[in-house]
Structure 1
Amino acid sequence: MTDQAPDILPLLSRGKHRRPKHGACFMEMASVMAGERWSDHPGCTHPVLAELARLVNDNSTDRRRSELAVLVPSVVGLNSPDDDLRWTLGLTAVTASYAVRRVPQSSQRALAAGLLTVQRATEARGLGTVPGTEDVDSALRDVPEEARFARRFSDGRTVSDRLLRGQVAPAVARSAVKGLVTGHQPDPDGDLRRLLQAAIGVAQRLADEDRTRAARQAPDRSATAT
């Protein structure tokens, strides 16, 4: 480890920091709690969730950002052991579903396109019900004009896994956070925090499913013992 964990955790602040004494963003603090090298891209958290956490951290006001600190331990260990696409789909879906009803129309179109992309990708891959995607249909119905535009624009296409991870998921996170900040809601800091909490909840459900699946696939040692 190139930077030792500080004796006292620094206050959350905007942006990336070279060392703990200069402050910490949400994911840098998570790297410390995970016992990893100081980084705002630690391996302890799924990339989609980590990207959302960085955006929420940087777009929260200085006055309210410290309220996010209690959520930092919750993201440690929330990652897919085999880069399961379900994590990307579920986290993207819950981000867009939460935000699309709360952002101005200028941000709704990108979120509706993200929801439609997740819906088609889930169906095309036969993944069934993925945690976080349960509200996709309802969210699309709540923004009918933007959903119709997204359907015309996409022309029924299904994007690749690489595009889902590298372009769709980050674009949805950026649109959601920007829309919540600029949407003239009475409590944008609270909306950002609740968005992150919703994503953490979905990641926890995905992790629970991974553990259940692994337990089922593990060999029954009692049955094979001689």
Structure 2
Amino acid sequence: MEMASFLAGERWSDRPACTDPVLAELARWVNDMLDHPHRQRLVMMVPEVVGLTPDDPRATTGLLLTAARAALPVAAPERQCIMALAILNAERVLADREGRSPDHLSEPSRSALTSSPGAESWARAQLARRGFSPAAVRPSSAAKVVSLAVDGIARAWIDDRQERLVDLLRDGIDVMAAFSPLVPDPLVVSWPVREPGVRQTAATRKARSHPG
């Protein structure tokens, strides 16, 4: 996110205005949970988040769903309950906004909930006990779910947790981009490459940076 702030011409910060705050939260958490080799795979995603600030309120809900669905099958049981409740809440919010039945579940959500029937039962009991009035998902609540989801995946007893985290950020960017049809094309960044066998002096680097 600091590199995104640099590319956007903003003050150096890991909370740049050029990126949706919930997506930025996801990026920070994923970055912090990866080892060095996996973290390097995030570099190519940095230009894609610059300017990614969709106005559609469904974007935040979609990002929350993406994170919760990724964490539910692998997180610890107590985290699974939170993820299941987040999925059911978010699905009902989207159903209300899009004029669908409140019991409608998208296929990815249905698949995730099926993987943890105990968590789903607990979440449905919570909703039935307290009632539910669909309302927009607040960014602060979405950011909390996102952070818990990433932490749940990072702590899971699975061999591919780092791959899953990289994939989660990739999916999160794609979800937000889907709600930003007018977002500009991603920035193209060319990193300097040293020619084999050529020793670059300070003068050489300056000449390459300022040709002519």
TM range (shorter): 0.7 to 0.9
Superposed counterparts of 1:1-226, under 5 Å = 27-80=1-54, 82=55, 84-126=56-98, 135-155=108-128, 156-158=131-133, 160-161=135-136, 164-167=138-141, 169-208=142-181
Q: Deviations over 1:154-184 (max 9, x none)?
A: 23313543x63222x1222122111111112
Q: Are the counterparts in 1 of residues 59 and 179 from structure 2 also a CA contact under 8 Å? A: yes
Counterpart of 1:98 in structure 2: which amino acid? A
Q: Are the counterparts in 2 of residues 103 and 183 from structure 1 also a CA contact under 8 Å? A: yes
**Which SS does the other structure have where 1:39 is aligned?**
coil
Deviation at 1:118, TM superposition (A): 0.2
Q: Are the counterparts in 2 of residues 57 and 65 from structure 1 also a CA contact under 8 Å? A: yes
Gaps (5+ residues) in structure 2?
101-105, 184-212
Q: Deviations over 1:117-144 (max 9, x none)?
A: 101111223366xxxx652222222222
Alpha-carbon separation, structure 2, partners of 1:134 and 1:50: 26
Larger Rg: 2
TM-score, normalized by length of structure 2? Answer: 0.75
Q: Are the counterparts in 2 of residues 99 and 195 from structure 1 also a CA contact under 8 Å? A: no
Counterpart of 2:44 in structure 1: which amino acid? V
How many residues matched? 176
Alpha-carbon separation, structure 2, partners of 1:58 and 1:148: 33
| Corresponding residue for residue 222 of structure 1 | none
Residues 134/53 of structure 1: CA separation in 2 closer, same or farther (3 Å cut): farther
User: Sequence identity, in percent?
Assistant: 38
Flag the structure with more relative contact order, 1 or 2, with Cα contacts below 8 A and sequence separation at least 6. Answer: 2
Gaps (5+ residues) in structure 1?
1-26, 212-226
TM-score, normalized by length of structure 1? Answer: 0.71
Runs (4 or more) in structure 1 with deviation over 3 Å come to none
